[in-house]
Amino acid sequence: MSASPAVAFTVDLEPDCPPFLWGWRGVEEGMPRLLSLLREERVRATFFTTGDSARRYPGAVRALVADGHELACHGMSHRAFPDLSRDEARAEIDESAEILRAFAPVTSFRAPYLRFPEQYVDLILDAGLTLDSSHAKYKLAYWRTRRADASRQQTRALTRVPASMTSSVLRLPRFVRHLILDALSSPVVLFVHPWEFVDLTHEHLRYDCRFRTGEPALACVREVLQRFAGRGARWITMRELDPRVTHTAA
Ligand SMILES: [Zn+2]
């Protein structure tokens, strides 16, 4: 395991477990629990937020901004970008960025389901978003794009920071969870959803979405944060990994 890793704790603020549930218990019940946990463990996080969530729950967005977390863009409606036409994709990005920027500056982006077509990357940049976290190290698309980026030098305008693992890993039994997390290289990008902190174990859902949700998930994430803190982790927001923001700020 690497010493003193940089760790970004990221949250996708969205409806409950799309595309299966679409309720809002995560934002209403899970979000206050998550914000308290982050306050108690002194972790500043990045919240990739859908425009719909911000419009419905402006109080939740104000609360996360007030706690010093980074507000970031997760599209408008949590529809999958590969299903959208170019005009629809542009509308999703532009509308959500505008709604979110009424609360705080927004420069980071993550596509729903961690799926974003390469040919739409210019739409992110057009909206003034300069960091993309739509890829995941455990998905093949990340490695394919990395190779293409290197040859085409497309990375010039966009900083790419992939998620390190899928969110349900944080709810695995302690032994397996530690084994996986300790092997991740820095910067580590963790992610969770507020709906994981609501008991969904009795919902008709895919098993990986519902197992150990609610209080057990909260306890698992607290353990994860404390374990990284014990390793001397430096908690960072996504923006701190974006040279275009850090160089122009202040
Ligand atoms: Zn999402």
Please write the tens of the pLDDT for every residue from 75-132. 999 999 999 999 999 999 999 999 999 999 999 999 999 999 999 999 999 999 999 9
How is residue 28 annotated by DSSP?
I
pTM of the predicted protein model? 0.91
Q: How far is the CA of 74 from the centre of ligand 1 (A)?
A: 7
Answer yes or no: is pLDDT of 250 > 50: no
Q: How far is the CA of 148 from the centre of ligand 1 (A)?
A: 25
Residue with the larger pLDDT of the pair 145 and 39: 39
Q: How far is the CA of 175 from the centre of ligand 1 (A)?
A: 27
Q: How far is the CA of 247 from the centre of ligand 1 (A)?
A: 29
Q: How far is the CA of 240 from the centre of ligand 1 (A)?
A: 22
Residue with the larger pLDDT of the pair 189 and 143: 189
Among residues 55, 78, 79, 90, which one has the least CA distance to residue 195?
Answer: 78
Q: How far is the CA of 30 from the centre of ligand 1 (A)?
A: 15
pLDDT of residue 150: 54
Q: How far is the CA of 78 from the centre of ligand 1 (A)?
A: 6
Q: How far is the CA of 250 from the centre of ligand 1 (A)?
A: 31
Q: How far is the CA of 191 from the centre of ligand 1 (A)?
A: 10
Answer yes or no: is pLDDT of 8 > 70: yes
pLDDT of residue 136: 83
Q: How far is the CA of 17 from the centre of ligand 1 (A)?
A: 8
Q: How far is the CA of 18 from the centre of ligand 1 (A)?
A: 7
Q: Catalogue the long-range contacts made by 232-235 (C-beta closer than 8 Å, 24 or more residues apart).
A: 232/3, 232/4, 233/4, 233/5, 233/6, 233/7, 233/188, 234/4, 234/5, 234/6, 234/7, 235/7, 235/8, 235/9, 235/42, 235/43, 235/44
